[in-house]
Amino acid sequence: MAKRLLLVTLLTLAPAAPVSGATAKGVGASVQGATVSGLPYRYVAITPNTPYKANSRRPSDKFTVVGRIDKRGGWLGRWWYLPGRYSIPAAAYDDRAGGLSADGGTLVLSRFSWIYPPRTAGLAILDTRLHLRHPRKASDRRPRHAIARLSFPGSFSFDAISPDGSTIYLIEHLSPIYGGAYQVRALDTKSGELLPEPIVDPDEPEERMEGTPVSRITSPGGRWAYTLYSGHKRGQWDRAHEPFIHALDTVGQRAVCIDLPQLDGHRNSFQLALQTKGRGRTLSVLNRRPEAARALLAVDTRSFEVRKPAPAATASSGIGPWPPIAVFGATAVLLLAWIGLRHRRTDGAGLAERR
């Protein structure tokens, strides 16, 4: 009864709670939210931390609730319960909407672990179109459950999901050091099995992948997942190395590594961000520092060619920032032209009177 009361209280506060956390009558709770463009709902995962059971190791003491919140009215439309501590994963430091497929039908949650790298990967795959159902009697045919929980050995973290939710992509960490070597693996959602071969760039099949995911953005429709990695040299964490973009085709199960030698030696990699423009045809690398916010590079998402971005216009009239002397000269020319025109009109009028 106490658990059900806590559940109702947390779900009631979820629409107004910040993404980073919530508090209900002295009970702490971890709250994460995920949504996609065009979806009228936001999915919120809540894991309460009850003080009076904080030291208990029983599985029943930890549970997660996922609620579907309407963006317009903020009302709770549906909710699901599952035992254990799970959270909506993020693929990069600035990503807050990972785990949800573009069609809104599949939500991936990661099981919480205090150990890094985790020895066992735990995922919960939620079919948002189904209710949480159980058979009424043991003899009844078990219905399709809304949540499928997977567990398999190895160090894995969430990377991306295909638009229809049929394929989930995971990062398999090959090094005990965070930001070390990794490879991308594909998991079939229906069977719950990992595909045997990693997803690699066919042009660089032997390229060693390592780095820290800094920024993530997806193309319109969710087919392509672009991740900006801050590169580093092995054993030289204090020295920046060449960043790169990992472009993952979540439908075609292929990858393209886009090297960014133009940013080699950039010491503020965590100030970089990705942005798509022109319906996803251009991928921009931004410097998001407030004092120097600007586009550094532009990537053509069809050819993956990297170029310097075109200079942005700074005035609505289309006139660039002229030097003061040029502005003064232009003003003087316009003033002299106006005076000359007035004199011509005056002389013309006097000549007409004399005639």
Q: What type of residue sits at position 41? A: Y
Exposure string of 203-240, with b = 16+ CB inside 10 Å and e = fewer, is eeeeeebbbbbbbbbbbeebbbbbbbbbbbeeeeeeeb
What is the token pair recorded at 270?
């965590």
Q: Are the C-beta atoms of 128 and 43 separated by less than 8 Å?
A: yes
Among residues 150, 107, 105, the alpha carbon closest in space to that of 126 is found at: 107
Q: Decide: helix, strand or coil at residue 261.
A: helix
CA distance 107 to 84: 16
Mention every residue, 6+ apart, whose C-beta is less than 8 A from residue 159: 91, 169, 170, 171, 184, 225, 227, 248
Of 199, 189, 245, 194, give the one whose Cα is nearest residue 218.
Answer: 245
Whether pTM > 0.85 for this model: the answer is no
- Per run of 10 residues, the mean pLDDT along the chain (length 355 residues) is 50 48 47 86 84 51 88 88 91 83 95 76 92 60 78 91 96 83 93 92 82 92 94 47 89 94 79 90 86 83 91 42 38 41 45 38
Q: How far is CA 165 from CA 121, 187, 223, 256, in A?
A: 19, 11, 11, 21
Look up tokens 């003087």; give the residue.
332
Phi (first) and psi of residue 325, to 5 degrees: -65, -35
pLDDT of residue 29: 64
At residue 321, the pLDDT reads: 39
pLDDT score recorded for residue 166: 96
